[in-house]
A and B are shown apart, each in its own frame.
Chain A
Amino acid sequence: MLAAALLLAIAAPLVTHGDPNAQRDIVATRFVAPLSSDGTGVFHVLGTDRFGRDVWTRLVYGARVSLGVGLLAVLISIALGVTVGALAGYGRGLVPLALLGLTDFALAVPRVVLLLLLAALWRPSTALVIVVLGLTGWMSVARLVHGEVRALATRPFVEGAVASGARRLRVLVRHILPNAVTPVIVAAALGVGNAITLEASLSFLGLGVQPPTASWGNMIASGRDVLVNAPWVATAPGAALVLVVVACTLLGDAVRDAMEPSAQLS
């Protein structure tokens, strides 16, 4: 399902006709119901919104934005989280203490409040959303990696590598981190779903991706005012979002079950 969504997003121009922001004769083409044709004879699978824009086209182009934001934001938080977690787990001296303190501090900041503040304080843009989501999502990954690294560091194969004279950084990167990949993948899968939802929430409040660029969040927001006469405008992007987030959750569960046979037995 996730693959299908990604493929659609990448192949957007092939499965749709026209520009997602194109407006023609608004009066003739607005609020066309799904599976019917507008006044100019163009067929709309999911109908049109109040400016006569094709909802399916916007949905597919919006997927580019929503999935892109989700993936990039998670990439940032994974990179930050793994770095902080690994250093905190395998570093010496004051470094782990300082990093763990920083992580706990960042975890205690209410995320939604922080998102609201950051997003409302600077001019909203797609890039800002990615950065803000990335910067507020790394803490759980750091905790996770920290725990894994600490546990792995005492295992015989790591001690073997240390005994054979490998440098600490090399031991960390070549021997420990590859064995901590599974929980990170699980966290990433869940994180993408979470980031997509948060992006939609911010855009819904008007603090995220700005119109006319379509994102699922601002599509839902624009459908809110026309819920009575054109319910499909808000329904379609929300349903797409739920499907993708469910897919992310299931993917995370599946990876965990596949990599940890013990979890399945219990």
Chain B
Amino acid sequence: MLTRFAARALAGFGVVAGVVTLTFFALRFAPGDPVEHLLGSAATAEQLAVQRHVLGLDRPVPVQYTAWVSRFVRGDWGISIAKGRPVRTVLGDAWPATVRLVGLSLLLSYLLGIAVGAIQAHRQGSRTDTALSVITVTLFAVPGFWLGLMLVMLFTYWARVLPAFGAAGLDADYLTGLGRIVDGLRHMALPLATLTLIGIGGSARFIRGAMLDLSSQPFVTTAHAKGLSPWRVTWRHTLRNALTPVVTLLGLSLPTLFSGAILVEAVFAWPGVGRVLVEAVQARDYPVVMAATAVSAGLVVVGNLLADVLAAWLDPRLGMRNA
């Protein structure tokens, strides 16, 4: 088990290194550079050259690469070219907003999705099942940014009850205590609803499928034969066993806690990592893009590993089979 874990961790490290390297060179060979964006079109060739020299961008690409790697692993993530602030501050400022939004939506969409899926599996073939299936398939198909726009249309322009943009009102700094919390919650309502609704579509479909696969297993038949009530069998026996793969799914969604819901953040002008990343790519802000890519690739790998370890812990047979 331990050696397997070590091997996976090593492979994961290789993946992160590969992704980072690929991104680094793709960035350098793509047209446009941060200095042009920084100085604007009025700058002379001489000014551009000076600025490039100051930032070290005139050195050979492999040299820049080794310099960046050696600084990055020592914790020096550099300074954002476009913003002039340390990359760690830029990402650190944006991260809490993303974690709040994405974390809460993951939690809600899995809790609600598991409930919906379990109800469907319990009443398989009934009208409730069919109706809920129609809803979940539709939610699963809806693009997040469009659902977001529709919610804005309904709740902001039509009903005029919820704000559509940002994470806090203009007057948020003057609010205290409860007022401030309410303001924050009101701003989070629409993006959270968007992400959660879409998440429910996926998780409910998944749980329903997993539970139906299990329903013909001997242990479920035994539970029924013991005379347990159908609800008890569904909740205590089938659902419990269907939850193991959900852990894997949750592990896979860990990276989104960081890279965020890029599109939904764009729609709602949510000040999270997704928006920082889009802006950085557009401004060719090399240090920010590199750091964000490295962290999110790392989280993908860690998420996969965690999911494996947790799944093996919940269901010991898995660990043995793959060993």
Q: Which residues of A contact B (CB under 8 A)?
A: 104-105, 108-110, 112-113, 116-118, 120-123, 193, 197, 200-201, 204-205, 220, 223-224, 227-228, 231, 234-235, 238, 241-242, 245-246, 248-250, 265-266
Contacts and interface: CB of A to CB of B under 8 A. Distances in A.
Given A121-B30, A266-B215, A241 B146 contact: yes
A32 B105 CA distance: 38
A122 B15 CA distance: 24
Contacts of B14: 105
B18 A200 contact: no
Given A231-B153, A245-B141, A113 B277 contact: yes
Contacts of A197: 141, 143
B157 interface: yes
Contact of B152 (A116, A205, A227): A227
Contact of B143 (A109, A201, A231, A266): A201
B289 A220 contact: no
Interface of B is mostly: helix
Contacts of A224: 149, 267
Given A110-B296, A238-B149, A238-B150, A249 B141 contact: yes
Given A105-B15, A121-B26, A241-B146, A116 B262 contact: yes
A117 B289 contact: yes
Given A200-B143, A204-B145, A220-B149, A116 B281 contact: yes
Interface of B: 11-12, 14-15, 18-19, 22-23, 26-27, 30-32, 137-138, 140-143, 145-146, 149-150, 152-153, 157, 212-213, 215-216, 255, 259, 262-263, 266-267, 277-278, 281-282, 289, 292-293, 296-297, 300-301, 304
A227 B153 CA distance: 7
A117 B281 contact: yes
A108 B276 CA distance: 22
Contacts of A204: 143, 145, 263, 266
A220 B145 contact: yes
A266 B297 contact: no
Nearest to A201: B263
Contacts of A105: 14-15, 18-19
B131 to A, nearest CB: 15
Contacts of A116: 262, 277-278, 281
